[in-house]
Amino acid sequence: MHAAEKKVRAFVRVKPTAHFAQDVIKFGPDNKSIDIYIKKDAKKGVVNNKQTDWSFKLDGVLHNTSQELTYETVAKKLVSEALTGYNGTIMCYGQTGAGKTYTMTGATAEYKHRGIIPRAVQQVFRAIACSVDSFITVRISYLEIYNETLCDLLSTTTSNDMQMAIVDCPQGVYVKGLSIHSVSDEEDALNLLFEGETNRVIAEHSLNKNSSRSHCIFTIYIEVRSRVRVLSDIRCINSKINLIDLAGSERLSKTRSEGRVLKEAAYINKSLSFLEQIIIALADPKREHIPFRQSKLTHVLKDSLGGKCNTVLVANICGEALHVEETLSSLRFATRMKWITTEPVVNVTYDSEETVKTLEKEISLLKQELAMHDSLVNRSLVTYGPLTDVQVAEIKSQIHKYLQGAIDEIDIMNFRQVQEVFKQFKLIVRQQEGEVETRLRSKYILIDKNDFATIAAAQKVMADQAGVYVGELREDRTKSLISGRDLAAHLPSKSQVTVPTKNLDVKEKARNEDTVKNDAQPSKPVSEEISQRSPPSKAVAFEQFKEECGSEINRIFKENKSILLARRKRSSTVARRINIIKQEMEDIKKALEAQRQERSQQGEYVDEKGRLIIDEKEFLLIMKLKDLKEEYRCSYAELQDLKAEIQYCQHLVDRCRNKLISEFEIWYRESFLIPTYVQNALKPSGNIRPGMIPINRVMCLEEDEQERFEQMQEAMLPTGPDSVAFYKAKMKTDQKVMSAGHSSLPRARTGCEPGS
Ligand code: ADP
Ligand code: MG
């Protein structure tokens, strides 16, 4: 999850003073640049070609800036990004007395003057209060580095210095042995901050430390656990905010000569000089090795400087001319920091153990839900666990009975059973395949189709015997054909009915249609009834269908279609409107840009609080743009809704169309293709129920009709395919009864009977 490349941001904060050196320090109008002028001093013999003017461009100059505005400018964004998983580091750098501690911790006496640490703590806990569906934990540590020794400012034991060590691990750097304290609210966290400050002061006195030579790192660790809804995964975001109050950056000058002081000087605090080296190395894209381990400070900050972290530097400077050298070196340091590019990334992990736990919880919840559902529909005996051996055996026995025909149905209670049934069927199929093959092998020699050599050999053997076999075969087949015909001709009642048409092939039948009709003269009533109404064309019939039986579904179809049409129209109107709004917004943006350029050319007006003043025209443009944005948003939302509706309507229309067509097909077949008397019989008042069609009527049909009718009857059987055998048997019985000589047939096809 790579974010765009960023630069380290660097600000300069000027400590207020009554003796501000106006001639030496000058601020640019953009609040971002700062110029330093040093007067050439003839007496001190400054060589003419030495540089005496410097210009620095930073991300902001905080001059006469309140603690609140400082926080907003420097820290607010970084803290809010930390809540989404980005590590953040804020460092205060500068000579002793320039306001580092004031900026970082602030004056503890007054709330208004609190610094970045207490404000960051507040922002974090406010965010927690507002978050609904994530669980956030906050922990805190406070580390001091003094003369290359680590000191836990929040330790409950006193002798911990020796037990601490900086450890590198794939997740980053951490200080082993440093106490990290969970805090449940803002007050808790602030208690720890103040406790740390107190410990620092005590150490300063009792151990004779000079607090200006120590680095202090206050760290807020944030862990946000949230549930990724779709996957039930627990997403875990870990981040930390390092808030660093560095040791004083004042330098030991080697000589007191002004010209040289500005060039050569060593830090009092050696670790700061390593820090500076690191900064230079980090800013060089070609540098591969960065010597983080040179000092405790740089080692601890390894993953907090540049790299995958949001980094901000505040250079604290004094405004007096006296301090100009230190001011210069602080500004140089800040400029170097700005060269560093960073690539902040979200520190996210997925907690599989937690995920399993939530899934388990969800499963038990779903089981409860199922149990409730079952009890509501009186299915109280259903269980949803894996099947027991007994249950599997029961399913197996049922399937065998089903295949043998002993039972018609297999009990199905839940999904696992369905799966088991299929599994058992698969087993049986496999088993039978095996059995069939064994049986075949026991009787025949099976040859692999790809085994050409064997096939050729077998063919040769067959060719040798061909004469005999072929002759026999031909004779046999002819015989069987003849006997088939003879058999048909001599079959009892059924064949008497079927023979006349059965032996005509289709073409012949078509050619002889007229003759057949003529021949069928005596059976005129039947033929007449079948061809009474020659079917109308489907197009004509469809119109009729829509008027009559299909009127309701046609109405619904039409209604859905008109709704769809209306939504489509509305959608294109809205889309057009969105385009117009977009164009208008573009125009206003251009106009605003022009206004802005004009303003910057004419010089900008700023009120006493540093806010920009704009003219009425620009103000109106901004307001108009705001309105347009709102309108755009609303229209866009409407368009999205409409799209969803259109999709749904389209689906309905398609379904209606299909229904209309399929109903029509059925109706057409029933109305025109089935003989009228069957139609009548099939009517609700008629004497035929599907599957119970009296055989005498079936017998009266033409052969083709009868076949079709049997098919239809099978398809319409009331209890599904299981009952086919039953009805077929019943039909045969009826047939036998009839052929035993019932003469009271309503429509005896005497005309077709041979010999009539
Ligand atoms: P450092 O930590 O850099 O040595 P401090 O933060 O202790 O410097 O500041 C020295 C003194 O100056 C403190 O009394 C502090 O209250 C005061 N001070 C520093 N910066 C400001 C500021 N911006 N506004 C008001 N007072 C300040
Ligand atoms: Mg300080």
pLDDT confidence of residue 67: 97
Q: Which residue lies with its CA nearest to atom 10 of ligand 1?
A: 97
Q: Is residue 383 a contact partner of residue 358, using CB atoms and an 8 Å limit? A: no
CA of 104 to the centre of ligand 1 (A): 10
CA of 212 to the centre of ligand 2 (A): 6
pLDDT confidence of residue 531: 43
Atom number in ligand 1 closest to CA 65: 23
Residue 330, token pair as written in the block: 């602080």
Which protein residues touch ligand 1 with a CB less than 6 Å away?
15-16, 94, 96-102, 107, 212, 316
The dihedral built from the CA positions of residue 480, 485, 490 and 496, taken in this order, carries a sign that is positive
| Ligand lying closest to the C-alpha of residue 100 | 1
Given ligand 1 and candidates 11, 13, 15, which is best to mutate, with the most ligand atoms within 8 Å of its CB? 15
Q: DSSP H helical segments within 312-451, as ranges?
A: 324-339, 352-376, 389-404, 415-443
Q: Alpha-carbon distance 90 to 72, whole Å?
A: 13
> What value does the mean pLDDT take over residues 467-490?
38
Residue-wise pLDDT for 253-297, tens only, equals: 654 545 444 445 677 888 998 999 999 888 887 888 888 999 999
Q: Which chain residues have CB less than 5 Å from ligand 2, an ion? A: 100-101
CA of 219 to the centre of ligand 1 (A): 22
> What value does the mean pLDDT take over residues 248-254?
78
pTM for this structure?
A: 0.52
- Give the DSSP letter of residue 226: E
Q: Is residue 147 a contact partner of residue 203, using CB atoms and an 8 Å limit? A: no
Spatial neighbors of 671 by CB under 8 A, at least 6 apart, are 541, 679
Residue 166, token pair as written in the block: 């900086």
| Ligand lying closest to the C-alpha of residue 96 | 1
Higher pLDDT, 327 or 683: 327
Q: Is residue 306 a contact partner of residue 282, using CB atoms and an 8 Å limit? A: yes
Higher pLDDT, 694 or 86: 86
Binding-site residue set for ATP = 94-101
Measured between alpha carbons, how far is residue 228 from residues 353, 360, 676 in Å? Answer: 14, 16, 65
Q: Alpha-carbon distance 91 to 100, whole Å?
A: 9
| Ligand lying closest to the C-alpha of residue 113 | 1
pLDDT confidence of residue 368: 84
Q: Which segment of 59-63, 175-179, 416-420, 717-721 scores lowest on mean pLDDT?
A: 717-721
pLDDT confidence of residue 706: 52
> What value does the mean pLDDT take over residues 10-22?
95
Atom number in ligand 1 closest to CA 13: 23
Binding-site residue set = 94-101
**Burial letters for 66-103: b for 16+ Cβ neighbours within 10 Å, e otherwise?**
ebeebbebbbeebbebbbebbbbbbbbbbbbbbbbbbb
Q: DSSP H helical segments within 207-323, as ranges?
A: 258-261, 270-283, 296-300
Q: Which residue lies with its CA nearest to atom 16 of ligand 1?
A: 102
Atom number in ligand 1 closest to CA 94: 3
Q: Alpha-carbon distance 742 to 756, whole Å?
A: 17
Share above pLDDT 90 across residues of the chain, in percent, rounded to a whole number: 35
Q: Alpha-carbon distance 651 to 648, whole Å?
A: 5
Choose the most confident range, by mean pLDDT, from 326-330, 600-604, 680-684, 704-708: 326-330
Residue-wise pLDDT for 44-53, tens only, equals: 554 455 567 8
CA of 15 to the centre of ligand 1 (A): 7
CA of 96 to the centre of ligand 2 (A): 6
pLDDT confidence of residue 99: 96
Higher pLDDT, 237 or 686: 237
CA dihedral 256, 262, 267, 273 (to 10 degrees): -150
pLDDT higher than threshold 70 for residue 420 = yes
Radius of gyration of the chain (CA): 48
Q: Which residue lies with its CA nearest to atom 17 of ligand 1?
A: 99
The confidence band for 91, taking pLDDT boundaries of 50, 70 and 90, is very high
Q: Is residue 459 a contact partner of residue 477, using CB atoms and an 8 Å limit? A: no
CA of 215 to the centre of ligand 2 (A): 9
What is the DSSP code string of 34-81? EEEE----TTTT--TTS--EEEEE-SEEEES--HHHHHHHHTHHHHHH
Q: DSSP H helical segments within 603-749, as ranges?
A: 616-668, 676-682, 695-699, 703-715, 724-739
pLDDT confidence of residue 316: 98
Q: Which residue lies with its CA nearest to atom 19 of ligand 1?
A: 99
Q: Which residue lies with its CA nearest to atom 15 of ligand 1?
A: 102
Q: Which segment of 373-377, 516-520, 549-553 scores lowest on mean pLDDT?
A: 516-520
pLDDT averaged over every residue in the chain? 78
CA of 144 to the centre of ligand 1 (A): 19
Q: Alpha-carbon distance 441 to 38, whole Å?
A: 109
The confidence band for 446, taking pLDDT boundaries of 50, 70 and 90, is confident
pLDDT higher than threshold 50 for residue 717 = no
3-class secondary structure, 92: strand
pLDDT confidence of residue 693: 44
Pick from 300, 260, 296, 283: which is nearest to 334 by CA? 283
Residue-wise pLDDT for 190-236, tens only, equals: 999 999 988 888 878 777 777 788 999 999 999 998 876 655 677 88
Q: Is residue 33 a contact partner of residue 27, using CB atoms and an 8 Å limit? A: yes
Q: Is residue 120 a contact partner of residue 241, using CB atoms and an 8 Å limit? A: yes
Residue-wise pLDDT for 348-395, tens only, equals: 887 777 778 878 888 888 888 888 888 887 776 677 778 888 888 988
Q: Alpha-carbon distance 676 to 141, whole Å?
A: 95
Given ligand 1 and candidates 19, 70, 96, 102, which is best to mutate, with the most ligand atoms within 8 Å of its CB? 102
| Ligand lying closest to the C-alpha of residue 102 | 1
Q: Which residue lies with its CA nearest to atom 23 of ligand 1?
A: 15
The confidence band for 689, taking pLDDT boundaries of 50, 70 and 90, is very low
pLDDT higher than threshold 90 for residue 33 = yes
Atom number in ligand 1 closest to CA 70: 23
pLDDT confidence of residue 486: 38
pLDDT higher than threshold 80 for residue 529 = no
Q: Alpha-carbon distance 666 to 664, whole Å?
A: 5
Residue-wise pLDDT for 605-664, tens only, equals: 778 887 888 888 888 999 999 999 999 999 999 998 899 888 888 888 888 898 888 889
pLDDT confidence of residue 349: 80
CA of 108 to the centre of ligand 1 (A): 12
Higher pLDDT, 273 or 103: 103
Q: Which segment of 307-316, 325-334, 408-417 scores lowest on mean pLDDT?
A: 408-417
**For residue 220, with 0-12 CB atoms within 10 Å meaning exposed, 13-18 middle and 19 or more buried, which class applies?**
buried
